[in-house]
Amino acid sequence: MRFACFHVGNLQGVLMPEQGARDAIAQSHFKFLPQFNQKKQPLRISGSPERQKMGLFQEIARSLVGSNGTGHLGQELRELKRLGENDLDDHWKDRDRLLLLVNSYDQARWAANEIRNCWSSMQDFVYHLVPDNIQTYIEDDFDELAKFVKPPDKGALNRADIETFGQTKGKILVAPMNAIGRGFNILNANGKAAFGAIYFLTRPYPHPHDTQAIAQEMNRRALDWADKADFLAWQQGDGIVQRAEKVRQLAARYWRSVEQRSYYKTLRDNHELLAFPRFDLAATTAGLVIQAVGRLLRGGVPFRGYFVDAAWAPKSAARKADQVNSVCDHFLEKMAIVPTNWKITQNTKSPRYPNSTRTLYAGLAK
């Protein structure tokens, strides 16, 4: 797999789960689930102006809730509960919880507050993640500090406490993808993944001027250049010094080209420099998605995943709601065929990826 910021080669067998877990994971599925406003226009968050995003999150939350819980969120909770009650393999028992992913803590608060406002019977069961308060104070500061410290938001959950969510009364957690994407085991009392379903309310997109991300991409590209015997720098110049200088020049040229990127439409392939930014963006995003759904695979169990932001497949989202699942297009399709032969709505295969990758993730998007 070739990720722009995840330097992953062929996966080794030591990463493989046991066969029973792989069979269970293969029961998982993804679905494109765009929401629409009152004018039947798809709600797109990613790429929208910042000043509009709060309102868009509120619209999406209202649409997912429906009339006091009759929308998709309520339907999903009831379906997960039904699956748990009829589960002979303990794959779904006590997993009727939903994880909603956004791009920031502010967005998490907006979405959670709107869900609570629209769904009165669930107000005490909806949480949103907040960053840990790492500041420390001496005892004499407390009285003065109390004058200024705001009481915690309703339903606020500190990031440090996230692994306890399965032991709370919470049913819905809204959190930033980057804050929860890896490193946490959020389990229920049975030692299985606490969440049964995950919703991607936004499509992550890297900041175009993130120096760290550019450096990660340069590291990835350097590995590609080193593996290509007929790369331009190796064919020009005599000796190590001249070739190293040529590589330095090409790297500087590559860096400048990355800095000039902004929107998706500005991403252009450069075969000479082995640069395929649209593919890399899809692969990197797929890596983030895989990390996120990893929270729902703990204990070798399946999950149900939903892509909500219309930006995942804008052409499909523009169609009527009853036609939306008939075609998979644009970024969602590109992401689907990158790391595995996932199936979103069509059976798309790519023979370039290692068997270990397909074994782990091929069944996730059925």
Q: What's the pLDDT tens digit per position in 31-47?
A: 999 999 998 899 999 88
pLDDT band at 365 (very low <50, low <70, confident <90, very high): very low
Q: Residue 351 has what pLDDT? A: 38
Q: Residue 323 has what pLDDT? A: 55
- Nearest-angstrom CA–CA distance, 45 and 43: 7
pLDDT in tens, 85-99: 998 888 999 999 999
Q: Residue 10 has what pLDDT? A: 56
For the purposes of burial, counting CB atoms within 10 Å of the CB of 91, is it exposed (0-12), middle (13-18) or buried (19 or more)? buried
pLDDT in tens, 55-85: 999 999 999 999 989 999 999 999 999 999 9
Cβ–Cβ < 8 Å for 20, 297: no
Half-sphere exposure of 271 (CA within 13 A, CB side): 1
**Is the torsion defined by CA of 280, 281, 284, 290 positive or negative?**
negative
Residue with tokens 């023979």, as numbered in its chain: 351
Q: Residue 155 has what pLDDT? A: 93
- Nearest-angstrom CA–CA distance, 277 and 283: 10
- Nearest-angstrom CA–CA distance, 218 and 221: 5
pLDDT at 11 over 70: no
Q: Residue 184 has what pLDDT? A: 86
pLDDT at 229 over 50: yes
Q: Give, in order, the Cα–Cα distances in Å from 266 to each of 71, 242, 261.
A: 37, 32, 6
pLDDT band at 186 (very low <50, low <70, confident <90, very high): very high
34-40 long-range contacts, CB within 8 A, separation 24+: 34/308, 34/309, 34/310, 34/312, 34/313, 34/316, 34/317, 34/324, 35/59, 35/60, 35/63, 35/64, 35/308, 35/310, 36/63, 36/321, 37/63
- Nearest-angstrom CA–CA distance, 26 and 15: 16
